[in-house]
Amino acid sequence: MTADAARSGILGALDEHSGPREACGVFGVYAPGQAVAHETYLALYALQHRGQESAGIAVSDGETITVVKDMGLVTQVFDERHLAPLEGHLAIGHVRYSTTGASTWRNAQPVYRSVGDAGFSLGHNGNLTNTVDLAAGLGMLPGVLTSDSELIGELLAREYPPVPRADGRELEHALVKVLPRLAGAFSLVLMDEAHLFGVRDPHGFRPLVLGRTEGGWVVASETCALDIVGAHFVRDVEPGELVAIDATGVRSIRYAPPQPKLCVFEFVYIARPDSYLYGQSVHAVRQRLGEELARQAPCQADLVMPVPESGVPAAQGYARASGIPYGDGFVKNRYVGRTFIQPSQHQRGASVRVKLNPLRENIRNKRVVVVEDSIVRGTTTRQIIALLREAGATEVHMRVSSPPYRWPCFYGLDTGKRSDLLAADMSVGEIADYLGVDSLAYLDLERVVAATGSPGESFCTACFSGRYPVPVPDDDTKFALEPGRRTLHVPGTLEPTERT
């Protein structure tokens, strides 16, 4: 049985910079004898940076699964009144940005399917690359399923054993059959009435970690979610691994050989700085990126300043390595959200003055180095440079702690079409002219990888290099399941020259 409770609503908010829509955030907890809804709420709050379109929680008391989801931030969807009825010791939670499927209540997660005794629920971080082929294999008309996450739910429901298994592991049985058929990026949390599962695709494009809490276990997109619920990090869920958690403990099932390709942009921008990836502090890596940037692209200036908040660690590193004083150039309105949720570039641009105000006394008559983690579309960056000019900066030098973002992501970031990307067809000199800066430099990819402390072959660098580890669709997949849409599939890994 299930109760699917929700309140309808539409949220508009404002963004850090005109960057990509981020990967989603997932969390799961199994803690017998404990009420875990509030713990799940706190974990989603810690993962809010990964998705701000919708939020949801599914809870089981051992017999009934209850799902509550809605459009908006975690604090807008849930309060004490909505958390109180969510009784149970087993839960999963999700915060979403849309990749495949529009930003609608129907596509909010967790997804629920009513099969077996109590059904099952799932949350998905990532993006499938064979969505259209899988949907066609189900024989379903376009529009019946509206997201790749819902498609995974339908595939699992169809593989559910018709007769309950003696061990009660119907969902695990279905997962073992379905997971090898999925291609692309998928870090999943799933639950039935008695079991919690964590799944990572064979390449591990998106992070997923296992943690231990008093009397139970948790899985989460990032380690920062473990911290907020008092859990300690045990290990990463490995690429190609299915982790099953129930009354017997934790079991590991390898459904595919691992081929690690963690998204390098997780280190650059997506992950929270207080998280750990590949055993490395994200904050420390971002400071090293800034140090490398200072060595690669030195500059004569009076002030190093970040674009808050995402550029802060790299700016600190740049200042430390260059010897140029670090300082603030902007005051950020902390009560304004993220601009890339806004439906148009015009609205994103209009939000810059609402979000950032220059500290004129720090900038006037100064040569400034502005450090940013990435430039994706460039509209907001251009307006930030104009604000600095208006505030009296004599020179503005832009330094970016990642390579030019030239290729769209098909593995869980909504970057739009390649034509939307500023660096897709422009040289660094042309970008400098467009932005209105005195100089511009991007960090070389080799230096980015070196700063992570991990080997280059363990990363997906497609957004910078155009080399996709898994064959990708030829078109944007966001509305691939809508009627009238057709996605052409490319037969192999793409080189940059093959996509021009």
* Active-site residue list: 24
Nearest-angstrom CA–CA distance, 160 and 456: 40
Q: Are 37 and 50 in contact (CB under 8 A)?
A: no
- Residues contacting residue 144 through CB under 8 Å, at least 6 positions apart: none
194 is written with which tokens? 């008695």
Q: Are 235 and 277 in contact (CB under 8 A)?
A: no
Q: How far is CA 48 from CA 28, 53, 84, 478, in A?
A: 15, 10, 21, 21
Q: Are 469 and 463 in contact (CB under 8 A)?
A: no
DSSP three-state, residue 269: helix
Q: Are 30 and 60 in contact (CB under 8 A)?
A: no
**How is residue 323 annotated by DSSP?**
-
Q: Which residues does residue 279 pair with via DSSP β-bridges, in sequence order?
A: none
349-356 long-range contacts, CB within 8 A, separation 24+: 349/379, 349/380, 349/383, 351/14, 351/15, 352/380, 352/383, 352/384, 352/387, 353/383, 353/387, 354/14, 355/14, 356/308, 356/330, 356/331, 356/332, 356/384, 356/387
Nearest-angstrom CA–CA distance, 390 and 196: 55
Nearest-angstrom CA–CA distance, 57 and 111: 10
What is the residue type of 312? V
What is the residue type of 154? E
Alpha helices for 21-92 (secondary structure H):
37-46, 74-77, 80-83
- Residues contacting residue 115 through CB under 8 Å, at least 6 positions apart: 157, 160, 170
Q: Are 136 and 142 in contact (CB under 8 A)?
A: no
Nearest-angstrom CA–CA distance, 371 and 367: 13
Q: In the chain, what are the helix, strand and coil shares in percent, each to the nearest 5?
A: 30, 25, 45
Q: How far is CA 404 from CA 302, 363, 374, 462, in A?
A: 26, 27, 8, 11
Q: How far is CA 417 from CA 5, 80, 354, 427, in A?
A: 35, 41, 27, 18
361, burial (CB in 10 Å: exposed 0-12, middle 13-18, buried 19+) = exposed
